[in-house]
Amino acid sequence: MFDADLIAKFSDKTATIGIVGLGYVGLPLALRFSEIGYSVLGFDIHPGKVTRLNAGETLIEHIPSRAIADARSRGFEATTDFARVGEADALILCVPTPLTKHREPDLSFVLDTMASLLPHLRKGQVVSLESTTYPGTTDEELGPRIERQGFTLGQDTFLVYSPEREDPGNPDFTTHTIPKIVGGRTPACLEVGMALYGQVIDRLVPVSSTRAAELTKLLENIHRAVNIGLVNEMKIVADKLDIDIHEVIAAAATKPFGFTAYQPGPGLGGHCIPIDPFYLTWKAREYGVHTRFIELAGEVNSAMPDYVMMKTAAALNDRRKPLKGSKVLVLGIAYKKNVDDMRESPSVILMEKLRDSGADVSYSDPHVPVFPETRQHHFELSSVELTQDNIAEFDCILLATDHDRFDYDLIASKAALVIDSRGRLPMAANVVKA
């Protein structure tokens, strides 16, 4: 049987692992499989990325080049040649699942990837999707495509859904220490999936189906999105009442049960929290269900950049300066502190709104020295060094992402005006909370 042969290969580490998509999810996973002793073949459509990885260079700030070089010495290879798919015993898909401009699921990356894999699939392989998506994607989209190639799922080819749980830059959790959900298209698929991940992840959590695994991932992120929406709304209420919401959160967090502290901000960022809830709301509509909590949280969180803009314009107006023509320095353009990950960053949305309002916009981010080329956002800017003279040149400093490497004492003492959307600075005459 193919499942027994494949499980044996995973157990004795003679299997070749193919990772498709070498970004914030795929690259750490590739390194982990390599570290444990598997032969790893990485696939990516970007030639420049492949060239750098094969030269032992890192693509992600919190992953050192030494880790890439070590993996290369153990045989890790990156390629753009999907004709080599047949060399892999496992194919793990780690590609983006964004939203369309109408806030509906965009499966184009997943489906385009499958189209590249299908001509080269063979019997005795397992395909595992890790990209976050709505319940039914694995069964309804991937399964039939594989079966149309003449394969029987659960007998000669195996299909798994195992959602990623990466938290870039978090030193407390690594790829192998975060428990991993695994759902299979059939019982045999689940058994193969458990064997695939069993050697590299400390704890596996099997569930009854790929749909259950898909919904588990969505629930995790919707839980956060709804609670962040709640605390963002509370921030606005607290501001109207002239109360510091961060003081209130810190006080509430002393309760040893029944409360979890979430922090407000200028909006949601990252590839999961701003996007994943809408995958479920879209799927729920197919069944006539209106997901009111989820959609309301999405509305609140999506409106936060406008709230910060309003506070910025009002603060400048109080100082007899219009937003148009003012020099504004945005601090931090990554979506969260201490990383270089800019996916869905609210800081970039703020930069665009400031620019569209006529402000002269610059940014400072020690983790992003040059504003990168992206599909949606375009700025020809480099990070401004935070010196005493540079800070004094700006009419307004907007703290959007509170990296630990910023000198907050210098900022507070030298800036004419600071809009603090993260609650990082103490109250002062030149500090406005947003």
As annotated, the active-site residues are 272
C-alpha distances out from residue 61 to 6, 57, 70, 102, 345, Å:
35, 11, 16, 32, 17
Residues in the chain: 434
Q: Both tokens of residue 187?
A: 């019982």
First-to-final CA distance of the chain? 61
Tokens 């967090």, residue located: 253
Rg of the chain (C-alpha set): 23
Between CA 217 and CA 223 the distance in angstroms is 10
Q: Which of 378, 386, 274, 410 is nearest to 332 (CA)?
A: 386
The residues facing 181 across adjacent strands are 205
Answer yes or no: are the C-beta atoms of 350 and 266 closer than 8 Å.
yes
Q: Which of 91, 44, 120, 77 is nearest to 196 (CA)?
A: 91
Residue 171 CB neighbours (<10 A): 8
Residue 253 CB neighbours (<10 A): 12
Q: Which of 179, 251, 172 is nearest to 220 (CA)?
A: 179
327: phi then psi, degrees, rounded to nearest 5: -90, 115
Between CA 360 and CA 371 the distance in angstroms is 16
The residues, ordered by sequence, that sit 6+ positions from 152 with a Cβ below 8 Å of its Cβ are none
Between CA 251 and CA 180 the distance in angstroms is 33
Q: What is the DSSP string of 274-296?
A: TTHHHHHHHHHHHTT---HHHHH
